[in-house]
Amino acid sequence: MFVNRCLPLFLNCFIILYFKEYSYVAVPFLVLLWFYKYRDLTVILLIILSGLIISSTNIPYATIYEGKIVQLTTNSIVIEHKGVRTLVSNCKIRDYDSIIQVEGKGNEIQSAPSSFGFSFETWAKQQSLNSSIYATTCHKVKEGTTIRRNFQKIIEQHPQKEYLNKTFFNVSSDREDFVGVLNAIGFPFVGFLLILRKLLRFFMYEKSIRWIEGFLIFLNLLITGFSFVSLRILFSYLCRFIHGDSKFRTGCFGFLCLLSNINQCTSLSFIIPFGFRLLQVTTNHKKIVRFLFICVIQSFFFSKIHVGLVFFYFVIVLIQGLMTCYSILLLFFPFLGSSFYELLSSIVDLLHVFELTGNPKGFGLILYLLVPFCFKKHRMEASLVIYLLFIQFGFFHPLSELVFLQIGQGDSMLIREAFNQKNILIDTGSSKNYELLKSNLEARTIHKIDVIFITHYDEDHAGNLGSLMNDFEVKEVIDTTDSFTTQKLKIESLNQRTFEEDNDNSLIHFIQMNQTHFLMMADASKQVEHNLLKDKQLLNIDILKIGHHGSKTSTSKALLTKSRPKLAIISSGLNNRYGHPHQETLELLNKFNVYTLNTAQDGDISIFFTRFLNFILTSRGKIGIISRW
């Protein structure tokens, strides 16, 4: 029996790994066979495993300059032609299903990885996007004639089009929190169906209600252009009619969703609804586990937990359903105005009053996973309470660390002592990347910053200082040659001269932490390095932060010869206009056999400190050990 059940799994993995081009056919076929023979919960794990492996394959790069508008985002559109999808920005034509021609430069969609920030590249992959274009000109070739386009025309002429666009097309929604995600993944329509079902039960039979639901779901498919979200709602509806137990129907639901778009297996549009269905059939503590699931989703993807949304989640869905009901009324009776819609929206906002910030992606997660085994009774209740405590007090991040943050073209380094006993920033990066910096701090449950060192006041080094002082408790800002010392940390300024250039006057710091030595060169040039070597004896530097983002005007042979670093760190933006890091600098580091990491390719570069060893972990998954002897 065991061999019979494992054989399809091994066959499935073999086809995925060695014949990736056939996996889109092989996986659904094998899963369907599994369904037919066994109908057990194991197939759900197989679906998720298959989806993750397939979606990890790269989408071939291709750019189209003519295609049909299939999707609108807040600031751009998506066009499609023969299965190839391209993201177009700076185009004023936003007419669904119309064919347009675009002129502009096409680029492969790339973004620097981040441990906690939003990944544009991941989002693009989920949307099956191949490339992007910044349009210089665009014009319409053919007007769309679909039901969706005609419905869009009606909304465009409506006096309350802003609210109707949010409801029916989820356009112009500025929310990036959990409620915004619920809007995007179709929960307003689901809430509408729930309210409608409750009302119709008073005077209609179940069979008639199902016919009405089916009609509305089909209408929703036409309005949304058969989007993944609308298809997922259809699959949920169809699975009610499948003969079998709830586990089998859950498996069918997951199978159909991933068959329609397997790249969505890592998106919240799939994870949240599938997760709820999975919990329904796998646990006896449905309510508590549902609360825990919502906490995990919020903290993992947004580094925040809105406690009100945890305990009033179903109320939120019903309110969103009421907003959909009112939008339908508003469509036919514009004189009703938007007051009631805004009232419902403000009720949702009230639930954001109390929030916890933190992300479970840390080494404390290992300790947390042992929690259920410490209790004989009320394990789920204890797991929920302890999870909230771990988030609130930062127990998911128990180790001291120094992080070279990926914040685009700029500099920012975070130094944390264990459990956030001390939090120090060296530079703050550019203001246009503040959300990246803020998300990194919030993910680590940082509310208080003891010291912010500003090496110099260039925008890419000090652009976020004001925002940080508004959003966090900042105790001290140091922009002079002052030093900072604790029992576990020493930060010393090495500047002893002044120069004409502002970059050359940027503060150079020597940091000692857990028997590891760091030299932070800020934007200093080779001339400053030459004088520094005269004034100071720099021996056995473990990690060298390369000056001026890897520019050829910094990092001399003399500096590398004297400091003998084991590792070099470059902080630069992906595809930046300055060409940093310059090839000359990379070749010099390679000549001296210095292993180099760059935030543009490797993302956040974290050095963790423990009693026995220090080790490096990057957002790309690179890992290494730094010798302390």
Successive 10-residue mean pLDDT values, the chain, 629 residues? 45 46 51 56 54 54 82 88 89 93 87 85 83 91 92 91 84 54 82 93 91 94 90 92 80 80 82 86 81 91 87 87 92 88 85 86 91 84 92 93 94 94 95 93 95 95 95 94 90 87 91 93 92 78 94 94 93 92 95 95 94 91 80
Residue ranges per domain, the chain? 1-53, 61-145, 179-329+337-357, 362-396, 400-626
Decide yes or no: CATH 3.60.15.10 for domain 400-626. yes
Architecture of domain 61-145: Beta Barrel (2.40)
Q: What is the pLDDT of residue 420?
A: 92
Residue 102 vs residues 76, 90, 190, 484: alpha-carbon distances, Å: 13, 10, 36, 55
DSSP character string of 457-505: --HHHHTTHHHHHHHSEEEEEE-SS--EE-SSEEEEE------SSTGGG
Q: What is the pLDDT of residue 59?
A: 56
Tens digits of residue pLDDT in 5-63: 444 444 454 444 444 444 445 555 555 555 555 555 555 555 555 555 555 555 566 67
DSSP 549: G
What tokens were used for 359? Answer: 């992300």
Question: Nearest Cα to 260, choosing from 223, 234, 294?
Answer: 234
Q: What is the pLDDT of residue 609?
A: 94
Name residue 39's amino acid.
R
Name residue 482's amino acid.
D
CB neighbours (10 Å) of residue 153? 14
Q: What is the pLDDT of residue 368?
A: 92
Q: What is the pLDDT of residue 28?
A: 56
Instruction: Spell out the residues 6+ positions from residue 6 whose beta carbon is closer than 8 angstroms to its own.
Output: none
Tens digits of residue pLDDT in 243-295: 777 877 887 788 788 778 878 877 888 888 888 888 888 777 778 888 999 99
